[in-house]
Amino acid sequence: MIDVSAYSKYYGKNGNLVYLEEIDSTNAYAVANDLEQFTCVVADIQTAGRGRSGRVWHSETDANLYFSIVIDGLDSSQLLPMNIFAGYLLSDTLKHMTEAKIKWPNDMTVNGKKLAGILMETSFSGGVLEKVVLGIGLNVNCTSFPDEINDIATSLFLETGVKYEREQILASFMTNLKSSFEAFRTGGVDIVKLWPYYSALLDKKITIHKDGVKTEYTEKGIDGTGCLLALDKSGSLKTIITGDIGYDFCR
């Protein structure tokens, strides 16, 4: 169980935390409910955790973190950059535990395996951005994974041999987010310049998987909108807007 008083001790009493023992998806809950800026919805277990591209996020153990944060004040052009920036914040949060680097757009990887995933969900009203929810699944203390993801998934415990306090990690992420969000929102964070410090794959060979097709590139960074820049085999620089980088990069 998440210990709400331990979380408050680390974060300070004013943090808006909604703790649920079990829920289908913290993202779904945060999107559906009217919650204040920076409210964090955290659950021990999700029965229908959502991943990117309609995938499932395995959430059946209470050893990990599954949480969603309400983010107000962004315009639609800031959504992909915020996704990227959230990866930077998560990497910073974890830096005393492990060196977690980003696989575009925002998979958190350690030693070529996935440690965390980020899923931003939005709702629009009459074409106007109404709500943004930033959802993060972080494998903290779990010791194993279902067979189908065992080769590509890892946890902080599996990487370091140490069990971590989930409340402290969550409080630390929220503190990082709260202290830097205004700078990000007002254009004071240059995600392009920061990318080389966080990317797991800069200048490395990658395979982009899109619509069942795999294409090889060399990663060359991101642009200001958060799109990936990559050299194709003929040496021409492409801007990748959607797609996944395969986990074959580490083999």
Residue 126 φ/ψ region, left for φ over 0, alpha for ψ in the -120 to 50 degree band, beta for the rest: left
x-or-dash pattern for ligand BTN, window 54-73, by CB under 6 A?
A: -x-x--------xxx-----
Binding span for ligand BTN by CB under 6 A among 47-55, 83-91, 146-154, 226-234: 47-55
CB atoms within 10 A of CB 101: 20
Site for ligand BTN in 173-232 (CB under 6 A): none
* Rounded CA separation 87/89 (Å): 5
List all residues 6 or more positions away from 28 whose beta carbon is below 8 Å from its beta carbon. 48, 50
Q: In the complex, what is the shortest distance from the CB of residue 235 to ligand BTN, in angstroms, rounded to a whole number?
A: 31
Question: Is residue 119 within the footprint of ligand BTN (CB under 6 A)?
Answer: yes
State yes or no: cis peptide before 81, omega within 30 of 0: no
* Rounded CA separation 30/7 (Å): 19
Nearer to ligand BTN, 50 or 101 (CB): 50
Provide the token pair at 181. 């969000």
Q: In the complex, what is the shortest distance from the CB of residue 218 to ligand BTN, in angstroms, rounded to a whole number?
A: 23
Provide the token pair at 54. 């309609």
Question: Is residue 22 within the footprint of ligand BTN (CB under 6 A)?
Answer: no
Number of residues that bind ligand BTN (CB under 6 A): 20
**């709500």: which residue's tokens?**
131
Question: Is residue 91 within the footprint of ligand BTN (CB under 6 A)?
Answer: no
Binding test (CB under 6 A) with ligand BTN, winner from 7, 11, 25, 174: 25
Q: In the complex, what is the shortest distance from the CB of residue 187 to ligand BTN, in angstroms, rounded to a whole number?
A: 26
Binding test (CB under 6 A) with ligand BTN, winner from 17, 84, 94, 118: 118
DSSP single-letter state for residue 1: -
Burial of 95 (0-12, 13-18, 19+ CB in 10 A): exposed
Q: In the complex, what is the shortest distance from the CB of residue 27 to ligand BTN, in angstroms, rounded to a whole number?
A: 4
Query: Which residue has the closest beta carbon to ligand BTN?
Result: 117
Question: Is residue 137 within the footprint of ligand BTN (CB under 6 A)?
Answer: yes
What radius of gyration, in Å, describes the C-alpha atoms of the chain? 18
* Rounded CA separation 155/157 (Å): 5
Question: Is residue 246 within the footprint of ligand BTN (CB under 6 A)?
Answer: no
Nearer to ligand BTN, 50 or 131 (CB): 50
Chain residues binding ligand BTN by CB under 6 A are 25-27, 46, 49-52, 55, 57, 66-68, 107, 117-119, 135-137
